[in-house]
């Protein structure tokens, strides 16, 4: 009898995890964000139109006119916050001569919809189209993925080949991160949203820069290192000493400098 009760409780527990898993993956700040120009002088609001009928808010920040490299950055954020929290990094990138599209996924930053792997892929596709409409073709665009966004851009580059990719705090795939934090759960069996990074990039010839902190408490440092070891065209590995996953340095000039160096190498 005790064994039966244990099996039932285990089954119920796994069912709960299955049903609530996206609440453990996505932490959107759904609040509205201010107009782009109120936060970043010269920036403007743009609307991304997804193939499944959503209209998503985003910010477009033109490059500094005196330093314009002719390249753009598509910024795919991680699983938390909204685009207001990426304003400083967007400004740093624009100051280095890069136009920037800062997106918010569905469910983030006042956008409609609920996040999922397929949904975020559709949002990223819409961002590529929006940049093209703004005069930035994909072959003159660098994809900048942050944490969960590294999974978004790893898939995106299979559909739209960019000039280069910067991965900030990448993981091999999301199941490896989940297995690290929840070793008692069959994460790989339960997980619906997979976000592979290393597998799609291992078959890619796109130039890649990998940036990560050596004190990351969210994405294990060894996973980021495995990504850097596994990409065929690694331009640079930038290890930020003493940096955790959400430390200020991960959203500031040192990341922007890494993007700018990649831009020079592919430009």
Q: What is the pLDDT along the chain (267 residues), one digit of tens a residue?
A: 544 443 433 343 444 444 555 566 898 988 999 999 999 999 999 999 999 999 999 999 999 999 999 999 999 999 999 999 999 999 999 999 999 999 999 999 999 999 999 999 999 999 999 999 999 999 999 999 999 999 999 999 999 999 999 999 999 999 999 888 888 888 888 899 999 999 999 999 999 999 999 999 999 999 999 999 999 999 999 999 999 999 999 999 999 999 999 999 998
Cβ-defined contacts of 233-236 (< 8 Å, 24+): 233/204, 233/205, 233/206, 233/207, 233/208, 234/208, 234/209, 234/210, 235/164, 235/207, 235/208, 235/209, 235/261, 235/262, 235/265, 236/209, 236/210, 236/261, 236/262
pTM greater than 0.75 = yes
What is the C-alpha to C-alpha distance for residues 146 and 169, in angstroms, rounded to an integer?
Answer: 6
Pairing of strands 164-168, 141-146: parallel
**What's the DSSP call for residue 141?**
E
């Amino acid at each position: 009898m005790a064994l039966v009760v244990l099996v039932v409780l285990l089954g119920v527990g796994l069912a709960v995890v299955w049903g609530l898993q996206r609440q453990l993956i996505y932490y959107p700040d759904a609040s509205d964000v201010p107009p782009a120009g109120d936060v970043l002088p010269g920036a403007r609001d743009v609307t991304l139109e997804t193939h499944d009928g959503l209209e998503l808010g985003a910010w477009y920040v033109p490059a500094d006119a005196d330093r314009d490299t002719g390249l753009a950055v598509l910024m795919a954020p991680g699983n938390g916050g909204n685009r207001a929290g990426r304003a400083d990094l967007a400004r740093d990138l624009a100051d280095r001569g890069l136009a920037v599209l800062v997106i918010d996924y569905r469910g983030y930053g006042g956008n409609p919809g609920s996040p999922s792997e397929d949904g975020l892929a559709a949002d990223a596709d819409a961002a590529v189209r929006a940049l093209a409409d703004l005069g930035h073709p994909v072959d003159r665009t660098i994809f900048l993925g942050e944490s969960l966004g590294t999974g978004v851009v790893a898939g995106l580059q299979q559909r739209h080949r960019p000039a280069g990719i910067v991965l900030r705090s990448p993981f091999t795939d999301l199941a490896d991160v989940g297995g690290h934090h929840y070793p008692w759960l069959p994460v790989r069996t339960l997980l619906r949203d997979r976000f592979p990074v290393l597998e799609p990039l291992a078959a890619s010839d796109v130039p890649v820069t990998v940036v990560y902190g050596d004190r990351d408490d969210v994405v294990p440092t060894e996973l980021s290192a495995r990504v850097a070891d596994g990409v065929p065209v690694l331009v640079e590995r930038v290890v930020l000493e003493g940096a955790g996953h959400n430390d200020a340095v991960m959203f500031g000039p040192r990341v922007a400098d890494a993007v700018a160096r990649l831009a020079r190498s592919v430009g």
